[in-house]
Structure 1
Amino acid sequence: MRPINILLADDDPLDIIDISRQLDKQHIIYQLYEAHNGEEAIGILEEAPEPPDIALIDINMPKMNGLELLQTIRQHERWKHLKCFIITTSDEKIDRRTASALGVSGYIIKPLKLNSPASMDAFNLMIDLINLKSME
């Protein structure tokens, strides 16, 4: 099994630790590329020889927010099929609609207690995709 390359765009160090812990609990072998805003995430994508297997994106970040980042990803030929999951504290309907219109693979509410059915479904889908990628 190969490690899964995960781009994590989140400006909160505690959320980054929490997401890493959740991935570790699932016994996932991964390489995490951290970006603290959308601009850093674009820089990581531009420098990577291949797009990551999956992107986890917070909405509320400085410089370029998560929805702007997702829109940029979808407009770029090389990245437009990247599986992206929103992981955010925002449960606003407009954010959900915008993310959905931009082809988000799942929408997970932080903190990752996963007590809502929608967050749990999105998290399980993300784990399933990661597991499939690791077998390639």
Structure 2
Amino acid sequence: MVAKSLNVLVVDDSDADAFTISACLDSCPDVADYMRARDGQEALEILLTSQFKPDLILLDLNMPRIDGFGFIHHYEENSSRSCKIAILSTSGSGTDYHRAVLRNAKTYIVKPPRMSQLRRTLNELCRSVRTNTPIPQRFFCAA
């Protein structure tokens, strides 16, 4: 039996980062569709009003209006849907990592400096989510 392809919600205020993430998701065989929100507030609105139902949320931490931690807080309080949340941030702070893990983020990825590294990481992450296998709780430090 072949597992279904994923819907992914990318929550990132950086146009450049969102473009790079989108390019990686375009080449990922496990991704059926993706949508972008520019901050936590827009992501919550998409989840409440859209027909788009993500299996995975790629979440930046530092954003305007509602940041990544605020999004997780509101999502957990107001959603009966349980999709996986992966932090994908430029922050390599150990404090942010521990806060994310305590907030039930499944993995924390520091945005790597090379697109090839990001593509490989996102392919592995999406495959793990699609096949319902354990997700490595890795912490990449961008050099």
Once residues 41 and 77 of structure 1 are traced to their aligned partners in structure 2, the CA distance between those partners, rounded to angstroms, is: 12
* Counterpart for residue 12 of structure 1: 14
1:89 alignment counterpart = 90
User: Paired residue for 1:55?
Assistant: 57
Give the structure-2-normalised TM-score. 0.75
Change over 3 Å in CA distance of 1:15–1:129 after alignment to 2:
same
Aligned length: 128
Structure 1 runs (4+) deviating above 6 angstroms are none
**Deviation at residue 82 of structure 1 after TM alignment:** 1.7
Structure 2 CA distance, aligned partners of 1:49 and 1:20? 20
Identity %: 27
User: How many angstroms apart in 2 are the aligned matches of 1:112 and 1:70?
Assistant: 26
Consecutive unaligned residues of structure 2, counting only runs of 5 or more, are 133-143
Q: Following the alignment from structure 1 to structure 2, what is the Cα–Cα distance between the partners of residues 127 and 20?
A: 16
Conserved 8 A contact 1:5-1:32: yes
Unaligned runs of 5+ in 1: none
Determine if contact 2:7/2:31 at 8 Å carries over to the other structure.
no
Q: How does 1:28-43 map to 2 (within 5 A)?
A: 28-43=30-45
Partner of residue 64 from structure 1, selected from 63, 66, 72: 66
Q: Find the aligned partners of 2:109 and 2:95 in 1 and give their Cα distance.
A: 15
CA distance in structure 2 between the aligned counterparts of 1:97 and 1:21, rounded to whole angstroms: 29
For 1:109, give the aligned amino acid.
Answer: V
Farther-moved stretch of structure 1 (33-42 vs 1-10)? 1-10
TM-score calculated relative to the size of structure 1: 0.79
What is the CA RMSD across the aligned residues, in angstroms? 2.7
**What residue is the counterpart of 2:141 in the other structure?**
none
The alpha-carbon deviation at position 50 of structure 1 amounts to 6.3
Q: Distance in 1 between matches of 2:99 and 2:85?
A: 13
Of 8-17 and 106-115, deviating more is 106-115
Query: Per-residue deviation at 1:123?
Result: 6.2
